[in-house]
Each structure stands twice: as structure tokens, then as C-alpha cells.
Amino acid sequence: MKILTAEFIKSCVDPKQFPAEDRPEITFVGRSNVGKSSLINSLLNRRDLAKVSRTPGKTRSVNIFGVATSDPALARFYLVDLPGYGFANVSRSVRAHWGPLIETYLTNRSVLAGVVLLVESRVVTDHDRQTLAWLHSIGRAPLIVATKVDKLRTGERAEALRGVSRALGLSEGELVIPHSSVTGEGNHHLWKALRTLIKT
């Protein structure tokens, strides 16, 4: 499969700005600085398409990226980067605006084909568990990706991934995809999972 085009479309701070529902969408959710923007760049083989920041809460809007590939099942779709949760350095008033924006997007988008929940491979937070429970409650069971696995030693990886599953309360057999935006590990498995989501 070849990525034919990958481009930033727009940033949305109001549901009225969301694009027309004319193609499937895959959205990425996770706590601040878990690596959503880095993962999108790695997945699309672009260095700076999604802006990466070390400052928690830097992404303050719903960012839309248009993608086209040579795979008929993935011909044209949107990747959507949502603001991170757990952004302690952002004012309460800003957080109060983000909450309804994200909730409206996740509950109302008819073309939303799948949600990818990113958690850091070395630590799972209460925010992660609460987000997973909420996504299940609205019928958006997510695909789980454990980020930053390049920071784990070889001998730590298997136990770290089991720890992610335990911390999230996943049942045996539920998939957790290990991913590194540094090495590109996990991109192939993630593309296969996204293809399945969009096809269904």
C-alpha cells in the first residue's frame, strides 16, 4: 500500500467547523503528550504534518488530516487528532470548552469508523481508565495502542504490555498494539487494524 496524499485540512474549535460527513474518519484520543501527533506523523511517514509539542495541552482543537492511499479500502479518509486529556497546565475555562467539543464529536459523527486510544506503555493513568470506560459507554469501543515502546528494554516489553492490559481491565485476547514513533514499530499492525475498521 502506498500513501498517495496526506495533508492537514483544518483545525476545528466548534462543531459547525467539522468537515462534511463524506468519508470515513479515524480519531486518536489519549492523555496530553502520550504521542498522538507523533504517531500520526509516523503512520503517514511525514515529519511535521501533525505539530508535536512538549507542552501538555498544546493541541486545543480538533485537527483534521486528509489521507488517500492506493488501497481501495483506504482510498480516502480522515485522521482526526483530538486534544489530550489530563492537561493540568490549561485553564479551567479552556478545559470546559474542550470537553463539550470532544464529546460532541465522539457521540455525533456518523462517519466515525473507529477510535484509537493511546496509552503510554510505561504508565496507565486513571484518566486512561475513565476514558476507556466512557468510550465503551457510548458504543465506541477503541483500538488500544501502547506508545513509546522504544523506551522499554527488551526484557521489559512483555511485562509492560501485560501491565497495560491489566491496568485497563482488558479481557484475555483483547489486542494492544505496541508502537514507537521513533522506530516505526507497530505501523504495519496499526494500518491493518485501521483497514478493518474502515471496511466494516
Between the CA atoms of 126, 130, 131 and 135, what dihedral angle is there, to the nearest 10 degrees? 160
Q: What pLDDT is stored for residue 49 in this prediction?
A: 86
Q: Whole-angstrom Cα distance, residue 14 to residue 97?
A: 9
Q: Check pLDDT > 60 for residue 54.
A: no
Q: Whole-angstrom Cα distance, residue 146 to residue 177?
A: 6
Model confidence, pTM: 0.90
Q: Which sequence spans correspond to the domains of the chain?
A: 3-199
Residue type, 182: V
The three cell numbers of residue 76 are 480516502
Domain covering 3-199, topology: Rossmann fold (3.40.50)
Cβ contacts of 161 within 8 Å, gap of 6 or more = 121, 146, 176, 178
What pLDDT digit, counting tens, does each position of 109-153 carry?
999 999 999 999 999 998 899 889 989 999 999 999 999 999 999
